[in-house]
Structure 1
Amino acid sequence: MKYINAAEVLPDYLITEIQKHISGEVIYIPAGEERTKWGEKNGSRQYFENRNRRIKLHYKKGYTIEEIAVEFGLAYETIRKIVYKPL
């Protein structure tokens, strides 16, 4: 993250107002646009949603949690959480 001197980009009246609340400290101003959720940019969210859907389908077809854990390479407790988590 690049730091910018406020005096270079903000009007004097705004700097004076900010100094009433915080002076001589570093302040972070977040971007104005909405943030994307975890995994939306690189496709991870979609991958895990699809994987979890397949796990639930296996369970509905009668596979045991142990069998699903072996097939997907996940811990028993992880599969159990996925299976019992509501949609």
Structure 2
Amino acid sequence: MNYKNGKEVLPPSLLKELQKYIEGELVYIPKKTSHRAAWGELSGSRLMIQSRNEDIYRCYMTGLSFAELERKFHLSVESIRKIVLKMRAAAVVQVECEGAVGRK
């Protein structure tokens, strides 16, 4: 986050109006919501977790138990269970969508 001097970036009338409310303090002005990146998009965390979750689901589908997945991925059984259920639901939706495309 960069610091900007209000004198340099704001029109004088707006600067004068802001000074009625706050003077000599730092003010954070958030980005518009349409310009905000979702969690993990900029750092790559979102993609990394998605890839890990796909690996967990693939391993589950090949027969690994929740306890084995817990040890392999260093997550709790409950976390593994949630990931598997979410990935299974996403796979079902994808299959249903692909079936609908084939019927056209």
Structures share fold, TM-score greater than 0.5: yes
Structure 1 unaligned blocks of 5 or more? none
Deviations 1:35-74 (A, max 9, x none): 2223323432212101101212222333211111122232
RMSD: 2.5
Alignment of 1:40-59 (within 5 A): 40-59=41-60
Check if 1:7 corresponds to 2:7: yes
Alignment of 1:1-87 (within 5 A): 1-20=1-20, 22-24=21-23, 25-31=25-31, 34-85=35-86, 86-87=89-90
Aligned length: 86
Name the TM-score, length of structure 1 as normaliser.
0.70
Structure 2 unaligned blocks of 5 or more? 91-104
Give the percent of matched residue pairs that are identical in Structure 1 and Structure 2. 43
Query: C-alpha displacement at 1:78, in angstroms?
Result: 1.9
Deviations 1:7-52 (A, max 9, x none): 23322111123335x2224311234671222332343221210110
Name the TM-score, length of structure 2 as normaliser.
0.61
Provide the rounded CA distance (Å) in 1 between the counterparts of 2:73 and 2:4. 48
